[in-house]
Chain A
Amino acid sequence: MALAVPVVTTAPADPPAGILISRQLAEREHLHAGDLVSLALDATGTGSRPFRVDGTYEPTPDPLRFTAKRIEARMHLPDLIAMTANPADPASAESLSAINVRLADPQDAVRFAAAVAARAPGIVVRPTTRARDGSDPFAVLERFHVAVAIVTVLGSTAFLLALMVMRAEERRETIGIIRLIGISQRSILIEVLVEGLLIATAGAAFGILLAVATQGAVNAFFQWRYDTALVFVRVTRSIALQSIAVSVPLGILAGLVGSWTLLRRDVLALVGR
């Protein structure tokens, strides 16, 4: 149904029914609570009826429709049926497009769906939970993001290794002198591991803090861009832990690999003799 929303300038005879309009519609048409509007089935004004705006609402964010402009109104079901029912088809006054059901036990969803489908042919019953059969677009997007994250980790690991190799070269003489005064290779290795652990942990913590600090800006940008209340980025505890679980071992490994050549090399070669 298409709804036209011209402002009514003359007061109707009967008190008009109340409706709620979406924030986006209110902003676009500069409507406020108490305004009178007429809604019609199409732009030519078919089936036009007056309504009173009782308030505005923020549409429930829908990730599948976040690019759509939410120009919407909510009205009482009898009012909608009165507008849309076809007088030539008595069944149309009893027709609905969807019924939302909350089950006492959500585990009964499959059985309930089968029972309804058997009793009412032509009706499709769908659970509101995310499908696990590959038909969920968000599962696909998640796989895409994971793939991009893996590539990013690979790139950053290569850079990290390059930096660690440079750092090890920088400390070649220092390590040579430490080994000359009798510090064992095991102790140096432990020092490298602890240093790697500290740097990697600090880096991971900084990365998470940066993500937490910037998630608001990312959300604000996309919410402004698409005029929605949908949350696009959320740094959860699980994501933070995943980041630490990936970055800390990688950081330690990079430090270890970078220093390995120095530990294996002859001590005199390290000090340039």
Chain B
Amino acid sequence: MTAWGLAWRTIARSPARSVLAVVGVTVIGALLFDMLLLSRGLLVSFHDLLEAQDFDLRIVAAEGSMVHRPPIADATSLVEAIARLPEVQRVTLVRTESAAAILPGGDRAGVRVGLVGTTAAGTGSIWTMISGASLPSVTDAGAPPPLVISTGLASELHLAPGSELQLRLFRPGAASAIPLVTARVIGVAQFTFEAADEYTVATTMEGFAAAEGTRGSGVAELVLVSSRNGAGPAAAAAISRLRPDVRTLSNDQVMEQFNQNAFSYFRQISTVLSSMTLAFAFLLIATLLTMSVNQRLGEVAALRALGFPRRRIAANLLWESVLLVGVGGLAALPVGGLLAIALDRILRQMPGVPVRLHFFVFEPRTIVLHAILLSVTGVLAALYPIWLATRLPIAATLRREILS
């Protein structure tokens, strides 16, 4: 009989014990799988969100970051200069501020929204159109500012393309309230970075200036640039030469900023929990196998006395460990998948997290890593029981077994 066959019979001899051990490995393996998903989930998901935007360069003020974005002075002329660069395909201005969205004749307090002023006309940029039209490239003079609103706000205030909506911009640090501006909803869209607990309203830069009560300050917080194929680094260098007081970030640099700051907590947590899970699995498998060997000392000594080499005894125990960890590890994948959905749902309740951002994202490499980690743990856990079984004094053990 092969070592594998012997291991299988040993496990099948105690079905209750084996099933419980496999269930334990399954649950612990599922947790390990989830922590591996969490370790890169935010990065992968955020990368997908950035890539979906069609922009590969983001410009902020030199002393700013993607989270803290001080205004860029004279952004309008910067955009015009960038648009003339041969490496650049498309450029967009973005300004954001908080505002109250009020239904005409409705509650005066209204609903707090994030107001986005942008020059990005057309879809496939900061939002995906659901109904109606996107923002026009040119606004008619005297016409109410056009608005593209998020699906959440449309549902909350029962708005549709053609509805009127009043906006009051909040000016931080100002002890005055800006008059209401009446605007018209022309489209409903899904905003890429909108959080579940937020509502977003986008308008043209002229519409934003109207809400602000100015004729346009030429200021923006963010400039999005889409460079021509492969011309990203050259475009970034050209922009830096144009305006040394701004900072041009590629998608990878933006990812790195978030990876270093906003996402690092979850990466650390996943590392700590993965390590603890592996240590836990190691201890428990080692304990189970050691107890199993201790119960079978007589059997092992008898096999050795019959001429079984140490190698086969070791192979038998190793196969036992592989069977327990292998079956449990395989079962851990679907269980871990379901658990990841539940845990993701919990974490996405965090305020300010974009609806389309996920904490647990599947990648094929996670399965490979999961298999490697569990295999190494299984082998390490089998080492002590193997040592115990192979170093057994045959005669003394058989004598002790007969006497007991």
Which stretch (B13-21, B136-144, B224-232) binds chain A? B13-21
**Residues of A32-48 whose CB lies within 8 A of B:** 42-44
Query: Which one of B62, B175, B280, B292 contacts A91 once the chains associate, using CB atoms below 8 Å?
Result: B175
Given A67-B262, A134-B349, A147-B342; A166-B17 close (CB under 8 Å): yes
List chain B residues, Cβ under 8 A from A136. Answer: 351
Query: Which one of B173, B272, B295 contacts A169 once the chains associate, using CB atoms below 8 Å?
Result: B295
Check if A231 is an interface residue, CB within 8 A of chain B: no
Most buried by B among A43, A44, A95, A144: A144
**Residues of A144-202 whose CB lies within 8 A of B:** 144, 147-148, 151-152, 154-156, 158-159, 161-163, 165-167, 169-170
List chain A residues, Cβ under 8 A from B347. Answer: 140, 144
Flag B257-292 by CB within 8 Å of A: 1 or 0 each: 000111011001000110000001000100110011
**Residues of B20-51 whose CB lies within 8 A of A:** 20-21, 23-24, 27-28, 30-31
Given A155-B31, A169-B14, A225-B268; A162-B176 close (CB under 8 Å): no
Query: Which one of B24, B197, B291, B343 contacts A135 once the chains associate, using CB atoms below 8 Å?
Result: B197
Residues of chain A at interface, number, CB under 8 A: 46
Check if A97 is an interface residue, CB within 8 A of chain B: yes
Assembled-state Cα–Cα distance A140/B17 (Å):
37
Check if A113 is an interface residue, CB within 8 A of chain B: no
Flag A208-232 by CB within 8 Å of B: 1 or 0 each: 0000000000100010011000000
List chain A residues, Cβ under 8 A from B20. Answer: 158-159, 161-162, 165
Check if A96 is an interface residue, CB within 8 A of chain B: yes
- A165 and B17 within 8 A (CB): yes
Flag B193-204 by CB within 8 Å of A: 1 or 0 each: 000010000000
B170 to chain A, nearest CB (A): 6
Assembled-state Cα–Cα distance A226/B267 (Å):
13
- B21 and A159 within 8 A (CB): yes
Check if B177 is an interface residue, CB within 8 A of chain A: yes
Assembled-state Cα–Cα distance A116/B280 (Å):
54
Assembled-state Cα–Cα distance A152/B292 (Å):
24
Check if A130 is an interface residue, CB within 8 A of chain B: no
Check if A122 is an interface residue, CB within 8 A of chain B: yes
Query: Which one of A44, A91, A151, A218 contacts B27 once the chains associate, using CB atoms below 8 Å?
Result: A151
- A156 and B14 within 8 A (CB): no
Cβ-closest chain A residue relative to B197 = A135
List chain B residues, Cβ under 8 A from A154. Answer: 27
Flag B283-325 by CB within 8 Å of A: 1 or 0 each: 0100110011001000000000000000000000000000000
- B174 and A122 within 8 A (CB): yes
Cβ-closest chain A residue relative to B173 = A95
List chain A residues, Cβ under 8 A from B107. Answer: none
Given A147-B346, A148-B343; A155-B175 close (CB under 8 Å): no
Query: Which one of A148, A162, A165 contacts B273 once the chains associate, using CB atoms below 8 Å?
Result: A148
Cβ-closest chain A residue relative to B30 = A151
- A68 and B261 within 8 A (CB): yes
Check if A87 is an interface residue, CB within 8 A of chain B: no
List chain A residues, Cβ under 8 A from B288. Answer: 159, 162-163, 166
Given A95-B173, A122-B175, A162-B24; A43-B291 close (CB under 8 Å): no
Check if A143 is an interface residue, CB within 8 A of chain B: yes
Q: How large is the interface on B (under 10, 10 to 19, 20 to 34, 35 or more residues)?
A: 35 or more
Assembled-state Cα–Cα distance A135/B353 (Å):
11
- B177 and A67 within 8 A (CB): no
- A166 and B295 within 8 A (CB): yes
Assembled-state Cα–Cα distance A6/B13 (Å):
76
Check if A106 is an interface residue, CB within 8 A of chain B: no
Check if B161 is an interface residue, CB within 8 A of chain A: no
Query: Which one of A43, A147, A148 contacts B63 once the chains associate, using CB atoms below 8 Å?
Result: A43
Check if A2 is an interface residue, CB within 8 A of chain B: yes
- B24 and A166 within 8 A (CB): no
Flag B43-73 by CB within 8 Å of A: 1 or 0 each: 0000000000000000000110000001000
Given A140-B349, A143-B346; A97-B31 close (CB under 8 Å): no
Assembled-state Cα–Cα distance A34/B230 (Å):
52
- B343 and A42 within 8 A (CB): no
Given A2-B70, A43-B62, A151-B339; A159-B31 close (CB under 8 Å): no
B222 to chain A, nearest CB (A): 17
Check if B106 is an interface residue, CB within 8 A of chain A: no
Query: Which one of A96, A140, A152 contacts B173 once the chains associate, using CB atoms below 8 Å?
Result: A96
Assembled-state Cα–Cα distance A169/B17 (Å):
10
Query: Which one of B27, B172, B176 contacts A158 once the chains associate, using CB atoms below 8 Å?
Result: B27
- B295 and A170 within 8 A (CB): yes
Which 6 residue pairs across A and B have the least CB separation, nearest first?
Answer: A155-B27, A162-B20, A2-B63, A158-B24, A159-B24, A121-B177
* B contact set with A: CB distance below 8 Å: 14, 16-17, 20-21, 23-24, 27-28, 30-31, 62-63, 70, 170-177, 197, 245, 260-262, 264-265, 268, 272-273, 280, 284, 287-288, 291-292, 295, 339, 342-343, 346-347, 349-352
A91-B174, A162-B21, A225-B268 are known contacts; what are 20 more A-B pairs with Cβ within 8 Å?
Answer: A42-B62, A43-B62, A122-B175, A143-B346, A144-B346, A148-B273, A151-B27, A154-B27, A156-B280, A156-B284, A159-B21, A162-B17, A162-B20, A162-B24, A162-B288, A163-B288, A165-B17, A166-B17, A169-B14, A222-B268
* A contact set with B: CB distance below 8 Å: 2, 42-44, 66-68, 91-92, 94-97, 120-122, 124, 134-137, 140-141, 143-144, 147-148, 151-152, 154-156, 158-159, 161-163, 165-167, 169-170, 218, 222, 225-226
Q: List 25 A-B contacts (CB under 8 A).
A: A42-B63, A44-B245, A95-B174, A120-B175, A121-B176, A122-B175, A134-B349, A134-B351, A137-B350, A137-B351, A141-B350, A144-B346, A151-B30, A151-B339, A152-B28, A152-B31, A152-B280, A158-B24, A159-B24, A159-B287, A159-B288, A165-B17, A166-B17, A166-B288, A226-B264
